[in-house]
Amino acid sequence: MPRLDARLKLVAAEIRGKIHADIGSDHGHLLAALLSADRIERGIAVENKLQPYRNSSATLERLNAEVRLGDGMDVIEKNEIDSLSICGMGGQSIVRILSEHPNRLPKQIVLQPNKAIASVRQWARDNGYWLTDEKCTGIKRRFEVLVFSRFGPPHDPVYQKLNEVGLDEPIGLMFGPWFLLRKDERLLQRLAEEQRYLQSKQNLTQTSRARVETIRRLLSSDHFLSR
Ligand SMILES: C[S@@+](CC[C@H](N)C(=O)[O-])C[C@H]1O[C@@H](n2cnc3c(N)ncnc32)[C@H](O)[C@@H]1O
């Protein structure tokens, strides 16, 4: 049985569906671990490239899983799955995949974007998915795992909660509303390190200057100072 790395372990721990699809399955390890542990009844792996498709097929051969060659949700039917994961891709690719067939998406979605994480939170915020939890691996090798559940409008109440502690929605989308509400130590350490690093550089770009200012505002907010 393939062992999952810390990142995929976090993802696996959040999956609740009986029939689960993993888009961009690559080696197929996530579904193999979920099926072997009886955490799901059936798995559907989706790959758009031939070699990873073959790798997933080999890993999942004797398990209750199907491997499909295709682009994202193109090869998933409406009402076919209870939950969905997309891991190890950039946020923009994830948002594109989610946006192509909105009526095929299941109630639970677990995402692990490598970058452009704010765009994933924004997509969910605009499409009736509430961020029910967010987790992360270490400080230097930080991967964020976002857990969403579809509730439809009204909007995700977590951003209202954030407002009540004096932090606005753009900051929540950027750094993660639950990490902020919990005053997550690892996020704070990472931000303090990033602040030190950016301040030590000369000739910062306008974007970096704006980022330093946002981090400074956040770390000196009443919410964080009162911890
Ligand atoms: C970096 S790997 C991540 C693999 C695995 N999910 C993980 O987190 O370890 C991304 C995988 O997604 C696949 N992929 C990228 N875009 C895809 C799409 N639109 N539909 C299906 N698979 C896709 C790639 O072929 C690649 O195998």
DSSP string computed for 75-122:
GS-TT--SEEEEEEE-HHHHHHHHHH-GGG--SEEEEEESS-HHHHHH
- pLDDT tens digits, residue range 154-199? 899 999 999 999 999 999 999 999 999 999 999 999 999 999 999 9
Q: What's the gap in Å between 124 CA and the centre of ligand 1? A: 20
Q: What's the gap in Å between 52 CA and the centre of ligand 1? A: 8
User: Which of 4, 15, 23 has most ligand 1 atoms within 8 Å of its beta carbon, as the pocket-test mutant?
Assistant: 23
Q: Are residues 103 and 36 in the same domain?
A: yes
Please list every protein residue whose CB sits less than 6 Å from any atom of ligand 1: 23-24, 26, 46-49, 52, 71-72, 87-89, 93, 97
Q: Are residues 97 and 206 in the same domain?
A: no
Q: How many domains does the chain have?
A: 2
The CATH number of residue 49's host domain is: 3.40.50.150
Q: What is the mean pLDDT of residues 194-216?
A: 92
Domain end position, chosen among 135, 151, 167: 151
Q: What is the mean pLDDT of residues 63-90?
A: 98
Are 65 and 44 in contact, with CB atoms under 8 Å apart?
yes
Domain end position, chosen among 104, 131, 151: 151
Q: Are residues 85 and 15 in the same domain?
A: yes
Band of residue 1 on the pLDDT scale cut at 50, 70, 90: low
Q: What's the gap in Å between 48 CA and the centre of ligand 1? A: 8
Task: Kindly list the distances between the CA atom of residue 75 and the CA atoms of 12, 50, 99, in Å, as whole numbers in the listed order.
Answer: 22, 15, 14
Q: Pick the atom of ligand 1 nearest to 85's CA.
A: 6
Q: Which two tokens stand for residue 202?
A: 């000369």
Q: Are residues 82 and 105 in the same domain?
A: yes
Backbone φ and ψ for 134, nearest 5 degrees, come out as -145, 140
What is the domain extent for residue 78? 6-151
Q: What is the mean pLDDT of residues 110-137?
A: 97
Domain end position, chosen among 151, 170, 185: 151
Band of residue 139 on the pLDDT scale cut at 50, 70, 90: confident
Q: Are residues 107 and 188 in the same domain?
A: no
Q: Are residues 37 and 119 in the same domain?
A: yes
Domain presence at residue 1: no
Q: What is the mean pLDDT of residues 56-77?
A: 98
